[in-house]
Structure 1
Amino acid sequence: QDVGLGDRGFLMNSEAYASQYVDHHIADHETFGPVVMNRQNLKQSGARNPWLVQGCRDGAAAYATDAIQLVQAKDRLDDRLVGPFG
């Protein structure tokens, strides 16, 4: 699921358009492990850039910013978290 960072009208007009302008940054928090920081790069009303930080209260061992990082073609599983698709 893409994060919706922006004004309601902006997001409802085209979620795919809005989500392609979200940048991700990974920071290492001493208590929570990796946290994913998301920032909308298209200015919203009031010339602001909404942002969000996501983490796990009990700590995280890994992260992904896109589903393709979790899956691969069915002939190559390697160390992916979920099984084959396609």
Structure 2
Amino acid sequence: MTGSVAAVADLLSRHLDEPPAAGITAATRLEDDLGLNSAQVVDLLSELEDRFGCVVEDDDLDTLERVGDLAAVIDRAGAR
């Protein structure tokens, strides 16, 4: 698990009422596996931007299906 994926998984684990029994991996689907709606994904992304000191482009929001996608946009946005 890459650093960004681990950070996203850690943040998700702390915010979910019931994290999935199988754990959170890069392949975990935000909506189907975790039950997040689009507003929750945007809130999560905002928290990740603050944590990593980066800004994700609005165009990247349409690509967020899995935890790995979220980590990748954070990486592309220049997470420090």
Q: Normalising by the residue count of structure 2, what TM-score does the alignment of the two structures yield?
A: 0.28
- Decide which structure has greater strand share: 1
Where relative contact order (Cα < 8 A, 6+ residues apart) is larger, the structure is: 2
- Decide which structure has greater helix share: 2
